[in-house]
Amino acid sequence: MKADEITLTMPRDRAFYTVAHLVLGGLGIRLNLTIENLEDLQLALDAVLERVRETDEVTITLRLKGGEIETAIGPMRDGVGDELEASGGEEVGLRRILDTLVDRVELSPGEGGDWVKLTKAVEVRSE
């Protein structure tokens, strides 16, 4: 089964992050996601986007595979891997935020640097 996929490449400027929210929101409406799932995905996306620094553009790929939405964000060249690997203890860092919002967080090398992949199990509701 081929996964549905949307890819968005945009300037790193925070003013463009609302475009990513619109795309994610449109996917959420199409899939009839709960508001809780949609908010979790938007907050997780924001947490990663806030850490994109040493690049002019950021690419976001959203994939629907079965009952999961995978979101790949990159490239990251500025130590996000170290922040994800840090357990943090009592500190509320990136790892703790993402673990609260999504089911799986992965970091892998890719074109131009590291890519963060967020996976969230979602229930696609029919009307």
Q: Report, as an integer, the average pLDDT of 12-40.
A: 90
Residue numbers of the domain that contains 96 = 4-121
pLDDT of residue 78: 72
pLDDT surpasses 80 at 44: yes
Q: Is residue 126 part of a domain?
A: no
Q: Report, as an integer, the average pLDDT of 3-30.
A: 89
Q: What is the pLDDT of residues 64-123, one digit of tens each?
A: 888 899 999 999 877 777 778 776 566 778 888 999 999 999 999 888 888 999 999 987
Distance CA 12, CA 14 (A): 6
Q: Is residue 102 part of a domain?
A: yes
Q: Is residue 78 part of a domain?
A: yes
Q: Is residue 127 part of a domain?
A: no
In CATH, what number is assigned to the domain containing residue 33? 3.30.565.10
pLDDT surpasses 50 at 31: yes
Number of structural domains in the chain: 1
Q: Is residue 15 part of a domain?
A: yes
Output the CA–CA distances (angstroms, integers) from residue 31 to 3, 37, 63, 65, 88, in the order listed. 14, 11, 12, 12, 35
Residue-wise DSSP of 14-34: GGGHHHHHHHHHHHHHHHT--
